[in-house]
Amino acid sequence: MFRYVLSLTLAVSYASAATISTTATCDGVTTVGTTFARCSTPDVLAQASVGLTSVSVLAEGTSLPFGPGSASASFSADEVFTVNGGTGGGFFFPCFDGAGFAMVGMSFGGVAFGIGDTGDMLVSNCRGPNTLGVPPQPLTFGVPQIVHISNTGFASSGSNNREFNSSESFERMLFFDASGNVLPNATFTLVEVPEPSAWSLLSIGMMFFVAVRIRAMRFHGRFHRCDLR
């Protein structure tokens, strides 16, 4: 257990803090937000939203003369990912759904899926364990690991009245044992990587724990030798 905690601490020391941003531009004026941004004028509408499990962008001309509009969204974070419901090694695969006429994409732990002009039809990277398209990613059940999550989107209305929009969201997670069998009852947790200051305190606490443990073992050894005399 101590080895797992130490490994996670070292991994977190290389993890990056979450970054979230959205923009909406109407007739050359940009509105900036975090998880949501929106602007509108008599001839253009633009909005963007993004989070841990979804991304959406929209830009459209609304009346003559058509004005330029655009929307962008970006989310990037490292999360502590723990899977339970199995033993030893296994695999995971995130499933995404999306639709629209603009560019959006999502990535979870090395598995990415993006869409563009799909004709507003629902598309997915995951219709079953035999249609994944890319290999599942490895995991060890019960052991936390750091995964990188990235969600992005961009839409532009150009100079016509057509609506450009797309959205994508996390649908579900598939889990497999080491032999590739699906584990329908496996569960997972995602926890935001703590701030560096919090991990500094944890590291100090771990060093104290190790020091106390070593001291106790030495004391036990001395007591045992004295008892033998």
Distance of CA 89 to the CA centre of its chain: 21
Q: Residue ranges per domain, the chain? A: 16-193
Phi, psi of 131 (to 5 degrees): -130, 40
Express each pLDDT in 34-92 by its tens digit.
Answer: 999 999 988 889 999 999 999 999 998 876 666 688 999 999 999 999 999 999 999 99
**pTM (2 decimals)?**
0.76
Express each pLDDT in 105-117 by its tens digit.
Answer: 999 999 999 987 6
